[in-house]
């Protein structure tokens, strides 16, 4: 039987608070950490770093920041630490080697899930690290990891970290060219990849893409995991099978302790323009934030099974699919396949079978499952769930409530975590034992961190007003330390608009109970007749219309108003599209936000362009509505085929 963790606010305003039972269990159920963090953030994090991690050598200075160049900041100076030691050795030494660390659920249903204990993971990481060392990988070298969702991806990250080398994971659904861009920029010595993986029941060749990446001049070795047994191209000079490498490897490889501020990993992320930038993350600060945010956001205890559905190719997969849970000694679930294969019940079946207690996914997935229908989750027993999380984009009220009620049975708090690749770990969300949980409102600032909301001129806005979300020093320990080999871009992108602060590029609104509602990227914000309008806010309003599944808003230049919002609307039942419905939606927006937010034009469409992580590519929609033939690179889209349909819808004129 499930336990009621949250109770609805008596005033029935959709503001949820933790139940007494939840508070009793939770690591944090009062203001103590918040107050401690406010009083002295550096001391707060020093204490947390000491509690969370085992340091080979204690740091001398907690935090240091350059007076004139605020982006030059460091945490735990002089401290020495190793990430894989903290994720594995520590638990094994404490006698917890027999505890399960990872359960992997393969896509083919006739293949059984595979479990690794902490000791088994430790053994494999040691062997791979030792073997890579023999291949010449040493401290500071870059290792590109191009692997699907198989346990070897976690092993590879930890083995790289064990050597004090730097991993750069490239999402396995990215093309070979994308991999090569990243490998070239990082000058990786080694690529770890696989012969292939399963997607919708079919084995796909990954090696042929990896070979494109391996053509970069820096690459000396390509380590290949055998996943599918596909017959793949082989380069005798470079390629080595992972299993052969491990078979001949030593059982133990000494961890290389590094100074806290040395780089643990690079992760490439798309900016608004140009090629992806390599976000640089340090070791000690990142691990501290990873440990504490995982532990407190999801109130993780020893008996939890944590499933973060994000691919490890994204920052969410790094921090909450690998480092965070393992540092906490908790068991984590990894799923190989497509969420709706062989049917739309696969995720819910997995939760039932594995007894997942904490589930962390993205609004885009939630909306997809809403579309599939309630019959799928209803078929399964989801009562093991205790906490639900969401990340990646603003969540609209409908999706929040569906997640809360249909998946959580009205019993699990929805932890809406705001953060970025750049921040390394979550920074704004309510905590399970503290609350509040309010649909569309991310929540409170994580203890020991501070964000403010600024207007164009850099002044703080008043409560209830929207503004630019900026971080106040001392910057959170998990924050990026640079854009790899590109300080100019680093400074321009994050540190120029509001001197002294970190510019998140997000807009937000301060709300009641000390909470923040993040409305979305400011690059997607519009000024309509002088009024600032958030695309997220408008989309949220449109999505609340009962016939609407999802929508995307982009600005279109307008003679008088500057810009007007254009709406691409996807209906639950496309046959309901009509002029009458357009009018109804406009009326609905009028009543939800006001006439200033009225969409100038509504297009009913089946799909809009999305990145492989499910984010709407508004850049392409913006080009479409402007009839601008320069749509940029379409190759990273999940669904490039929808662009032609959209061209027809908007009456795009070629040439």
Which residues contribute to the site for ligand WTA (CB under 6 A)? 269, 315-316, 391-394, 416-421, 442, 504-506, 518, 520-521
Task: Give whichever of 316 and 543 is closer to ligand WTA, judged by the CB atom.
Answer: 316
The DSSP element (H or E) to which 315 belongs, if any, is: helix 315-318
Among 457, 441, 527, CA closest to 498: 457
Task: Tell the smallest beta-carbon distance from residue 421 to ligand WTA (Å).
Answer: 3
Task: Tell the smallest beta-carbon distance from residue 54 to ligand WTA (Å).
Answer: 27
Number of CB atoms found within 10 A of residue 415's CB: 24
Task: Give whichever of 165 and 365 is closer to ligand WTA, judged by the CB atom.
Answer: 365
From the number of C-beta atoms within 10 Å of its C-beta (0-12, 13-18, 19+), residue 583 rates as exposed
Task: Tell the smallest beta-carbon distance from residue 521 to ligand WTA (Å).
Answer: 5
Task: Tell the smallest beta-carbon distance from residue 51 to ligand WTA (Å).
Answer: 25
3-state secondary structure of 333: strand
Task: Tell the smallest beta-carbon distance from residue 520 to ligand WTA (Å).
Answer: 5
Distance CA 643, CA 334 (A): 33
What is the dihedral angle through the alpha carbons of 138, 140, 141, 147, rounded to the nearest 10 degrees? 100
Task: Give whichever of 91 and 367 is closer to ligand WTA, judged by the CB atom.
Answer: 367
Distance CA 298, CA 387 (A): 7
Task: Tell the smallest beta-carbon distance from residue 614 to ligand WTA (Å).
Answer: 10
Task: Tell the smallest beta-carbon distance from residue 636 to ligand WTA (Å).
Answer: 13
Task: Tell the smallest beta-carbon distance from residue 579 to ligand WTA (Å).
Answer: 33
Q: The tokens 């040395």 sit on which residue?
A: 262
3-state secondary structure of 415: strand
Task: Give whichever of 103 and 442 is closer to ligand WTA, judged by the CB atom.
Answer: 442
Task: Tell the smallest beta-carbon distance from residue 641 to ligand WTA (Å).
Answer: 24
What is the dihedral angle through the alpha carbons of 565, 566, 572, 574, rounded to the nearest 10 degrees? 160
Task: Give whichever of 86 and 420 is closer to ligand WTA, judged by the CB atom.
Answer: 420
Task: Give whichever of 122 and 400 is closer to ligand WTA, judged by the CB atom.
Answer: 400
The number of CA neighbours under 13 Å toward the Cβ of 130 is: 16
**Rounded to a whole number, what is the largest CA-CA distance in the chain?**
72
Task: Give whichever of 255 and 394 is closer to ligand WTA, judged by the CB atom.
Answer: 394
Cβ contacts of 82 within 8 Å, gap of 6 or more:
56, 161, 162, 164, 255, 256, 257, 258, 283
Task: Tell the smallest beta-carbon distance from residue 210 to ligand WTA (Å).
Answer: 24
Residue nearest to ligand WTA (CB): 421
Among 424, 482, 485, CA closest to 449: 424
Task: Give whichever of 124 and 506 is closer to ligand WTA, judged by the CB atom.
Answer: 506
Task: Tell the smallest beta-carbon distance from residue 392 to ligand WTA (Å).
Answer: 5
Task: Give whichever of 91 and 182 is closer to ligand WTA, judged by the CB atom.
Answer: 182
Task: Tell the smallest beta-carbon distance from residue 517 to ligand WTA (Å).
Answer: 8
Task: Tell the smallest beta-carbon distance from residue 513 to ligand WTA (Å).
Answer: 17
Among 298, 288, 290, 289, CA closest to 433: 298
Task: Give whichever of 518 and 593 is closer to ligand WTA, judged by the CB atom.
Answer: 518
Task: Give whichever of 190 and 391 is closer to ligand WTA, judged by the CB atom.
Answer: 391
> Which stretches of 9-99 are assigned E, i.e. beta strand?
16-18, 61-65, 73-77, 80-81
Distance CA 149, CA 172 (A): 8
Task: Tell the smallest beta-carbon distance from residue 281 to ligand WTA (Å).
Answer: 12
Cβ contacts of 283 within 8 Å, gap of 6 or more:
81, 82, 83, 161, 258, 259, 260, 261, 262, 263, 264
Distance CA 416, CA 292 (A): 16
Cβ contacts of 526 within 8 Å, gap of 6 or more:
532, 533, 534, 535, 553, 555, 563, 565
Distance CA 164, CA 83 (A): 9
Task: Give whichever of 188 and 421 is closer to ligand WTA, judged by the CB atom.
Answer: 421
Task: Give whichever of 25 and 612 is closer to ligand WTA, judged by the CB atom.
Answer: 612
Q: The tokens 């240091």 sit on which residue?
A: 64
Phi, psi of 612, deg, nearest 5:
-70, -15
Task: Give whichever of 442 and 586 is closer to ligand WTA, judged by the CB atom.
Answer: 442
Tokens describing residue 470: 């900026």
Judge contact between 252 and 159, C-beta under 8 A.
Answer: no
């Amino acid at each position: 039987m499930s336990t009621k963790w949250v109770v609805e606010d008596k005033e029935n305003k959709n503001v949820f608070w933790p139940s007494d039972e939840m508070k009793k269990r939770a690591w944090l159920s009062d203001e103590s950490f918040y107050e401690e963090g406010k009083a002295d953030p550096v001391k707060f994090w020093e204490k947390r770093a000491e509690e969370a991690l085992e340091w080979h050598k204690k740091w001398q200075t907690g935090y240091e920041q350059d007076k004139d160049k605020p982006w030059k900041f460091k945490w735990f100076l002089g401290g020495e630490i190793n990430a894989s030691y903290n994720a594995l050795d520590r638990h094994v030494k404490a006698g917890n080697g027999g505890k399960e660390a990872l359960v992997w659920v393969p896509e083919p249903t006739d293949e059984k899930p595979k479990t690794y204990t902490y000791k088994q993971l430790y053994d494999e990481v040691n062997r791979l690290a030792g073997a890579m060392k023999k291949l010449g990988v040493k401290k500071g070298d870059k290792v590109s990891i191009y692997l699907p969702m198989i346990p070897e991806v976690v092993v590879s990250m930890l083995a790289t970290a064990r050597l004090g080398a730097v991993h750069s994971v490239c999402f396995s659904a990215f093309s070979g060219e994308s991999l090569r861009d990243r490998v070239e920029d990082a000058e990786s010595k080694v690529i770890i990849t696989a012969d292939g993986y399963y997607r919708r029941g079919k084995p796909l060749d990954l090696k042929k893409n990896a070979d494109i990446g391996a053509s970069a001049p820096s690459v000396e070795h390509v380590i290949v995991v055998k996943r599918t047994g596909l017959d793949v191209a082989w380069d005798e000079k470079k390629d080595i099978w992972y299993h052969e490498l491990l078979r001949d490897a030593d059982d133990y490889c000494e961890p290389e302790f590094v100074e806290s501020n040395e780089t643990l990993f690079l992760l490439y992320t798309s900016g608004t323009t140009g090629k992806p930038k390599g976000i640089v993350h340090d070791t000690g600060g990142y691990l501290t934030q990873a440990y504490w945010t995982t532990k407190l956001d999801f109130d993780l205890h020893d008996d939890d099974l944590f499933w973060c559905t994000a691919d490890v190719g994204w920052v969410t997969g790094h921090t909450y699919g690998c480092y965070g849970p393992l540092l906490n000694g908790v068991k984590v679930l990894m799923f190989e396949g497509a969420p709706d294969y062989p049917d739309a019940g696969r995720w819910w079946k997995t939760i039932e079978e594995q007894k997942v207690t904490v589930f962390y996914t993205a609004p885009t997935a939630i909306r997809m499952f809403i579309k599939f229908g309630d019959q799928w989750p209803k078929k399964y027993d989801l009562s093991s769930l205790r906490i639900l999380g969401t990340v990646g984009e603003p969540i609209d009220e409908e999706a929040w409530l569906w997640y809360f009620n249909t998946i959580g049975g009205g019993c699990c708090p929805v932890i809406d975590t705001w953060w970025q690749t750049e921040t390394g770990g979550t920074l704004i969300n309510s905590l399970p034992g503290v609350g509040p949980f309010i649909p569309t409102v991310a929540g409170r600032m994580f203890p020991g961190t501070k964000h403010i909301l600024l207007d164009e001129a850099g002044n703080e806005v008043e409560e209830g007003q929207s503004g630019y979300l900026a971080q106040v020093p001392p910057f959170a320990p998990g924050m990026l330390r640079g854009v790899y080999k590109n300080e100019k871009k680093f400074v321009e992108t994050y540190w120029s608009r509001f001197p002294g602060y970190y510019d998140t590029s997000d807009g937000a609104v301060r709300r009641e109970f000390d909470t923040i509602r993040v409305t979305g990227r400011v690059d997607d914000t519009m000024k309509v007749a002088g009024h600032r309008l958030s695309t997220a806010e408008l989309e949220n309003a449109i999505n609340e219309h009962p016939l609407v599944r999802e929508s995307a808003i982009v600005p279109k230049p307008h003679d008088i108003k500057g810009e007007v919002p254009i709406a691409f609307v996807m209906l639950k039942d496309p046959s309901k599209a009509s002029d009458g419905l357009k009018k109804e939606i406009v009326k609905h927006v009028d009543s939800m936000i006001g006439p200033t937010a009225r969409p100038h034009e509504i297009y009913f469409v089946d799909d809009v362009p999305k990145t492989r992580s499910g984010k709407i590519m508004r850049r392409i929609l913006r080009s479409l509505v402007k009839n601008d033939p320069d749509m940029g690179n379409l190759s990273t889209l999940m669904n490039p085929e929808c662009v032609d349909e959209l061209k027809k819808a908007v009456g795009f004129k070629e040439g």
